[in-house]
């Protein structure tokens, strides 16, 4: 059996600020020779209120690929700025992939609507704001790549979140994820307080 390696190509990134703080989770006791013993520490990320500092995207990509990447990275920014702290990486990347996929679908739908209303020769397509055959194929390729990605984070995340969104909506899915993460945080906080 072979281990599958997933190559991640970074085409965009959402930069944010956070601090890693070491806190004492179990108090120390005084041992022999007045040495502290039995102290447990844990690392916690402390987020600031407005922590998104930049969204960076590789220069020179086709405009539709750039739009998809921007939609994906903007969802990361939205999550950070709206209280979605310490999200499971699969859920976070899934949400971002779903938004990118939705953006690709909406641009494809808009193009189909405009091209059916006013047929023009292919030579004038770029002047009229319509897509070339290359752009249509690029959108189909990007959507297919998202849908068939077999990585355990991006691919699995997309399928999980896309299923959730299909049952309700993106807004309702975001509300449910926020509700669950707050509930999980409250449970973890009360367990920590008992220790």
Give the chain's largest Cα–Cα span. 89
- pLDDT-derived band at 151 (thresholds 50, 70, 90) equals very high
Does the global pTM surpass 0.95? Answer: no
- Is 98 inside a domain boundary? yes
Residue showing tokens 């897509």: 131
Q: Which residues fall within 8 angstroms of residue 157, CB to CB, at 6 or more apart? A: 89, 90, 91, 92, 93, 94, 95, 97
Higher pLDDT, 9 or 15: 15
Find the Cα–Cα–Cα–Cα dihedral 135, 141, 146, 151, rounded to 10°: -140
- Domains contained in the chain, number: 1
- Is 18 inside a domain boundary? no
Mean pLDDT taken over the chain: 80
- Is 163 inside a domain boundary? yes
**Owning domain of residue 153:** 62-194
How much is the pLDDT for 32? Answer: 80
């Amino acid at each position: 059996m072979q281990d599958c390696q997933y190559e991640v190509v970074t085409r965009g990134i959402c930069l944010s600020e956070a601090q890693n703080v070491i806190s004492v989770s179990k108090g120390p006791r005084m041992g022999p020779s007045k040495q502290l013993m039995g102290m447990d520490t844990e690392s916690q990320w402390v987020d600031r209120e407005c922590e998104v500092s930049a969204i960076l995207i590789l220069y020179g990509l086709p405009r539709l690929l750039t739009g998809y990447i921007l939609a994906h990275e903007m969802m990361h920014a939205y999550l950070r700025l709206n209280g979605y702290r310490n999200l499971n990486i699969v859920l976070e990347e899934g949400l971002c992939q779903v938004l990118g996929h939705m953006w690709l679908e909406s641009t494809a739908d808009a193009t189909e609507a405009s091209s059916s209303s006013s047929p023009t020769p292919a030579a004038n397509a770029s002047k009229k704001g319509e897509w070339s055959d290359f752009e249509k194929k690029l959108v189909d390729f990007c959507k297919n790549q998202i849908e068939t990605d077999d990585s355990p984070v991006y691919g699995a995340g997309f399928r999980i979140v896309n299923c959730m969104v299909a049952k309700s909506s993106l807004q309702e899915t975001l509300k449910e994820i926020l509700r669950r993460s707050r509930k999980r945080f409250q449970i973890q906080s009360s367990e920590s307080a008992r220790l």
